[in-house]
Amino acid sequence: MAETFQIDINADVGEGIDNESEIMPYLSSCNIACEGHAGDDYTMREAVRLAKKHNVKIGAHPSFPDKVNFGRVVFDISDVDLYVSILSQTLVLKYIAEEQGVVLNHIKPHGALYNLAAKNEKTAKVIVNVIKRMEQPVKLYAPYNSIISEIAKNENIEVIYEGFADRNYNEDLSLVSRKNDNALLSNKDAILQHVLRMIKYQKIKTISGVEVSIKASTLCVHGDTKNAIEILKYLNLELPKNRIKIQ
């Protein structure tokens, strides 16, 4: 019998794009902006409502507290203040979710915070310490072979390795900078091949053409990618044909 695979598909939501009602039916988990780079009580409640309706797992998407730069540049902040900010952002969403009878499944840092924690031990420890403060176990969405994933595993936190369906990679598994023209993938067939390589062969083809090893149990399609809905529909259609179950 041919081998079968499983994958979670996530997207960052509540970031002001206002396409959650279209995206949510094609996701199995979501990462909700919680006032750091975007979002407010209304957008969080609406995202939680839609996620609950479509049986989508809910995660917090905390950021550097920097709405001016949408959390996409490293923010000058002490470790103590960063801890307080991330904890506050996460708890706000946690309480909103609990109001609707939903539990927080995971935390996925946003933007520059995500990228920095992948390689910076101090920043990674701040995020891990926030997760340790949660009353119930909360998973971490993080890159494969990253510093934060190793620290989290050593603290007995469940790590879900994340790959990016709509982003190109460098050889060190960092994402190609959004400043570069080749940072984003938008062609749905190219994205499908990119995703199939990750899931079936645990490989990623980098922009230099070199293949490197990767592990991914969840794949992100960014909600602000111009054709995000088309990409998600296509993946939902094509992955099962390739013996990959979305869950």
How many angstroms separate the CA atoms of 103 and 98, rounded?
6
At residue 224, the pLDDT reads 87
At residue 3, the pLDDT reads 87
Read off the pLDDT of residues 11-40 as tens digits, 9 standing for 90 and up. 999 999 999 999 999 999 999 999 999 999
Q: Using only C-alpha atoms, what is the Rg of the chain?
A: 17
Read off the pLDDT of residues 148-194 as tens digits, 9 standing for 90 and up. 999 999 999 999 999 999 999 999 999 999 899 999 999 999 999 99
On the 0-12 / 13-18 / 19+ scale of CB atoms within 10 A, 170 is middle
How many angstroms separate the CA atoms of 150 and 132, rounded?
15
Q: What CATH code is assigned to 5-246? A: 3.20.20.370
At residue 229, the pLDDT reads 96
At residue 160, the pLDDT reads 98
Residue 52: pLDDT over 70 = yes
Closest CA to 64 of 140, 134, 127: 127
Domain ranges of the chain: 5-246
Q: What distances in angstroms separate CA 190 from CA 1, 166, 167, 205, one per listed residue? A: 28, 9, 11, 11
Residue 129: pLDDT over 70 = yes
Measured N-to-C along each axis, helices 228-238 and 188-201 cross at an angle, to the nearest 10 degrees, of 50
Strand 104-107 with 29-33, pairing:
unpaired
At residue 167, the pLDDT reads 96
Read off the pLDDT of residues 66-118 as tens digits, 9 standing for 90 and up. 999 999 999 999 999 999 999 999 999 999 999 999 999 999 999 999 999 99
Q: DSSP string spanning 187-245?
A: -HHHHHHHHHHHHHH-EEE-TTS-EEE---SEEE--TTSTTHHHHHHHHHHHTGGGTEE
At residue 1, the pLDDT reads 61
At residue 157, the pLDDT reads 98
pTM of the entire predicted model = 0.96
